[in-house]
Structure 1
Amino acid sequence: MLSLIVPTQRRPQGLAVAVRSLFAQQGVDFGAMELVVVDNDQVASAQGLVAELAAQAPFPVTYVHEPRPGVANARNAAMAAARGDFIAFLDDDEEAPAGWLAALLAAQAKYDADAVFGPVRARAPADVTRHRAYLERFFSREGPANEGLIDHYYGCGDSLVRRAAMPDPVAPFSAIRNHIGGEDDLLFGQMKAAGRRFAWAPEAWVWEDPVPARLTLGYAIPRAFAYGQGPSSAAAMASPPDRLGVARWMLIGIGQAVVYGAVAAVKWAIGADDRAQALDRAARGLGKTLWWGPFKIHFYGRTAPAPAASPATSSKALMA
């Protein structure tokens, strides 16, 4: 059994594109599949749309409402409702070509992988002209040119994971990452430490359409800073804590922040086309150095409160 999971929060257009792209998959057995859409809005804003989409679905669709804010809460709620032995994750700003899922499954079978990742190709609207190349690269995911086993991991969006390989098959995502993100990095880091096998499938690529509000340096550079915090934070959270690892990453970060900060200043002064990329590298270095509590940035769980929100997770199966 394969469960497709799409988390969403107030993105009806993106959600419709993502879900319909799953309905159009080729070379897979729809009879052994299900879709779980988890709505992380405090009100069940996506329920009506999911019901409409379910009427068009070639496999069962389950709607889950998780009103508690946080990306880890949303993913765990979907995992609790999912029945699959394998879980395929697609974000609500992504669109999967028809051969996406078949490519993930083929790589998993070929390498007996516990997790398979594929490329993400971001596309910005035509009216985004400032730092367009940088922003499309920022929201994209690149990897090896060839298929095969890899010794590192990527994020959840565009991935296939064996449920039994997760440290917790029902609620594998840590709630401490609810508002800052990186819950998937923490999970895959735990899986790597346990000796799980990761594979890369270059043919399993997806489009990503970032929301327009995120296609600015005001969003991307703080996010780069947060990405930079990942290695230092992961070393600090290891059991036992890897203090030498924290110190090493902080020293690396200082060097990156100083070198790339100087490069960014020069490039900005001369108006170089790639100046945003240098600033990005400096921000990631600074994140490695300033990784603890006061410097954490909250990117999730900021929806306005709803007066009638329920504290419990609810789900409703919508059969095709």
Structure 2
Amino acid sequence: MGITTAFDASSTALEVVEGIDLTGRTAVVTGASSGIGVETARALAAAGAAVTVAARDLAAAERTVTDIRTTTGNDRVTAARLDLLDLDTVRAFTDAWTGPLHVLVNNAGVMDTPETYTEQGWELQFATNHLGHMALTLGLHPALTAAGDARVVVVSSSGHGSSPVVFDDLFFERRAYDPGLAYGQSKTANALFAVELTRRWADEGIVANSLMPGGIWTNLQKHWDPKVIDELSVTAAPIMKTPEQGAATSVLLATSPELAGVGGRYFEDCHEAEVVDEIVDGIHGVRAYALDPEAARQLWEVSVELLDKAGWDTSA
């Protein structure tokens, strides 16, 4: 039996943090200028944390900061530019960070993008969803260590069920590109990253967990066929969440006293997901390969090698 809490699929991020005091604690949320990222940052700020809203579009991040400050009364909310595909901006972000970091929510992501490669030759979804976040987390390692009890929250997806990490062809050099498989691989990488980070850093007081936020209509679906969206808007309506509900599991992992010291697990609907042979109803459960410790270790090593070649200092 996995970890369960008093919350469920209908719970909102603000309900999850009710009664929790994060005064004096710091948090970074990537991709926090839209979708569930906004509501994740809002809930953390509502609980008193000093929150950095990190996003590619600085103007959008600043608008989000104004909104969150207004709704929470917390003026310790700031904006910062962060483009996970541009390691120079990642380095600028980590170099500028001072003091301990208690919560890092790796929330930003792209989904089902057309076949695209970065200047390093990395497939776009793997580069954004996993490698960019890994570089950021490595760069913030000293700050996370300084916190003494830091949590890293990695937003994965039930989409991981479409593909394990294909180590002998990460970037679709020998197989036809499939946007769904590329997305699935990147989301499996998110879950595996949490597993290995916890193994490596738990002794420093740092743990990581991954999660499926649920089905939420956001900008993430911008590459989908409009006809598919129209159909799902009707058929999937009963299981869809609001952004406030979609952010709840992220916020639970970031703040719940019940999860202190817990790491390397995959959650959904505010509880630990069941390991399944096939994702149930397209959204429930976690595949065993997304929690496999050997795959997690291999992914870390491969990712470090890729980042090293790109000139990123992975020694932190």
Same fold (TM over 0.5): no
- Could you tell me the TM-score, scaled by structure 1's length? 0.32
Larger Cα Rg: Structure 1 or Structure 2?
Answer: 1
